[in-house]
Amino acid sequence: MEYTKKQCTLGITLLALSVIPLLHSGCTKTKDGPDGDGPRMGYVTGIVKDGAGKPLEGTHIIIDHSIFFNANITTRTNGEGKYAINVPTGSWYAFAKRAVAYNGKTYSFYLHPDNPTGFGDEGAVRNFVWKLTGTMPEPLSGHYGGLVTLDNFPGVYIEATEIDFLLTPIGPLIDGSQGEAIRLKAEDAHTLRDIPIGRYRLTGTYNGKPVTFRRWNSEDPFVADYELNFEPQIAAHCDNCSALEYYWEP
């Protein structure tokens, strides 16, 4: 079959128009990376921000091998909160840790990943945000918030699960935000969990009467209006926590 010059020109034009969208779609970038791009072969990249969306410079990034102990690669975020690390063949997890000075002490926190799953040398994007509360995803465990452990004064036997606790913030929380009063009970009778790190005025009642508190394993006086401060670590006990002893008189 023979074609006229006009028919050939029309066919070439239609073919070109059909190819252009394919070329364009092949160049389109995904938006999961810090610069709007997707994973890069052999690299893990990302951005770290606080709860208000501000980039966090100097955050410690740890790319840890999922099998071999103490086999990791580290870096820190730049002024824009971004990082990029070359990863060799293997199976890896990404973590972000931040050290924060507050009230004369330095605390260390794991930050929350947008994707906690592992990856290999195909590359990955792992962004992080600093959360004051919430459950850590595997392979981590525990909570982002602080822990308060409770112990009764010898001879005081009450239903600790029925103590009504009220924590009222004294000044800003550790990230500079304004906290809110927290009412809660010790569901396991021994701990108050996942509390945003800050300074608090702690009060409690049981059967309508005040419960008094002091530092655990101390000779401090018991007080009904207790200033609660968290410790970065109580040796052989807990991290980012406060250990208290309580007393109640019928």
Same domain, 234 and 160: yes
Secondary structure letter of residue 246 according to DSSP: E
Establish if 38 belongs to a structural domain: no
Same domain, yes or no, for 78 and 121? yes
The answer on 241 and 174 residing in a single domain is yes
Are residues 108 and 231 in contact, defined by beta-carbon separation less than 8 angstroms?
Answer: no
Same domain as 219, residue 162: yes
**Which one of 75, 102, 129 terminates a domain?**
129
Tell whether 187 and 242 lie within a shared domain. yes
Per-residue pLDDT of the chain (250 residues; tens, 9 = 90+): 444 444 444 343 433 333 333 333 333 344 556 565 678 899 999 999 999 999 999 999 999 998 877 778 999 999 999 999 999 988 999 999 999 999 999 999 999 999 999 999 899 999 999 999 999 999 999 999 999 999 999 999 999 999 999 999 999 999 999 999 999 999 999 999 999 999 999 999 999 999 999 999 999 999 999 999 999 999 989 999 999 999 999 8
Could you tell me which residues come within 8 angstroms of residue 8 by beta carbon, excluding any fewer than 6 positions away? none
Check whether residue 118 and residue 154 sit in a common domain: no
Residue 117 to residue 126: CA distance in whole angstroms? 9
For residue 45, give the nearest of 80, 13, 5 by alpha carbon: 80
Which residues make Cβ contacts (< 8 Å) with residue 94, sequence separation at least 6?
44, 46, 61, 62, 63, 64, 113, 119, 124, 126
Tell whether 154 and 120 lie within a shared domain: no
Alpha carbon of 151 to those of 145, 148, 165, 204, 239: distances in Å? 20, 10, 14, 14, 17
Determine whether 3 is exposed, middle or buried from the number of CB atoms within 10 Å of its CB (0-12, 13-18, 19+). exposed
242 occurs within a structural domain: yes
- The answer as to whether 95 is a domain residue is yes
Cα 218 from chain centre? 32
> How many domains does the chain contain in total?
2
Closest C-alpha to 241, from 193, 203, 174: 193
Same-domain status, 163 and 243: yes
In a domain, 1, yes or no: no
Q: Which two structure tokens, joined as six digits, stand for 94?
A: 């990404």
Structural domain containing residue 98: 43-129
Domain boundary among 96, 129, 162: 129
- The verdict on residue 37 lying in a domain is no
pTM listed for this prediction: 0.82
Q: Return the CATH number at 47.
A: 2.60.40.10
Say if residues 80 and 122 touch (Cβ distance below 8 Å): no
Residue 167 lies in a domain: yes
We report the CATH number of the domain holding residue 170 as 2.60.40
**Does residue 110 lie within any of the structural domains?**
yes
- Domain contains 22: no
Q: Considering 129, 155, 172, which residue would you say is the last residue of a domain?
A: 129
> And the tokens for 26?
């092949």
